[in-house]
Amino acid sequence: METNKVKKNKTGFIVVLVVLIGFPLVAMYYMNKGVRYRKALFAQLDDLGEFRARPDSTEGQVLAIFFLDKESADREALTQMHHQFDNRQDVIFYVDGDYALVDSSQMLPLTDADQLAVTTALGLPYSALKGSGFLVDRKGHLRKRYDLSNKDDVQLFVRQIALFLPPKKTPKPKLQRETEK
């Protein structure tokens, strides 16, 4: 009878150790892993210059600028990214070139002033921008150039856009009490 009680005590002690020490250690490991991942993504970003062509309409939004080439891979990258961020109104796509998507709230054509702002910030001629994508953060800084024909670059583009987005706000439930009649 005593040995059964001792086994129960040892089992209970192990369970308490796992709950009080094991679970927090595992949670801290994964939390630190996520922090290191975000830091690594931020470390890959640069400050290439300011993009201030339309400051009133893009204030506080993440911009993805696409200079499409005639290749279908560029349009495919744009389509995939648009589907990824279609429900986010704080991501705006500026597109230079032919694209088949029609979304007037999120897809805007790149104007001559926008093109000039990008070429001025980068110090590159317009012809060198074809087939490239650019990330503009919420403060209007060009952060990185991406090759749209490279799938790894497009995936990095998506991950780095997500870094600048605030978490989605879910509405709080409203409690409406009813009185008895």
pLDDT, tens digit (0-9, with 9 covering 90-100), for 37-73: 888 888 888 887 777 766 556 566 778 788 877 666 7
Predicted pLDDT of residue 46: 80
Predicted pLDDT of residue 41: 82
**Which percentage of the chain shows pLDDT scores above 90?**
0
- pTM (global) more than 0.85: no
DSSP the chain: -HHHHHHHHHHHHHHHHIIIIIHHHHHHHHHHHHHHHHHHHHHT----EE--SSHHHHTT-EEEEEE--SSHHHHHHHHHHHHHTTT-TTEEEEEES------TTTEEEPPHHHHHHHHHHHT--GGGGTTEEEEE-TTSEEEEEEETT-HHHHHHHHHHHHHHSPPPPPPPPP-------
Is residue 91 over pLDDT 70?
yes
61 and 114 in a common domain: yes
Predicted pLDDT of residue 56: 55
Distance CA 47, CA 66 (A): 18
Instruction: State the CB neighbour count (10 A cutoff) for residue 134.
Output: 22
Which distant-in-sequence residues (6+ apart) come within 8 Å of 1 by Cβ?
A: none
33 and 84 in a common domain: no
Mean pLDDT (the chain) is 79
Predicted pLDDT of residue 1: 52
162 vs 54, more confident = 162
110 and 136 in a common domain: yes
59 and 35 in a common domain: no
pLDDT, tens digit (0-9, with 9 covering 90-100), for 12-26: 888 888 888 888 888
Predicted pLDDT of residue 135: 85
2 and 84 in a common domain: no
Reduced to 3 states (helix: H, G, I; strand: E, B; else coil), residue 61 is coil
77 and 15 in a common domain: no
Predicted pLDDT of residue 127: 80
Predicted pLDDT of residue 58: 59
**Domain that residue 7 falls in:** 1-43
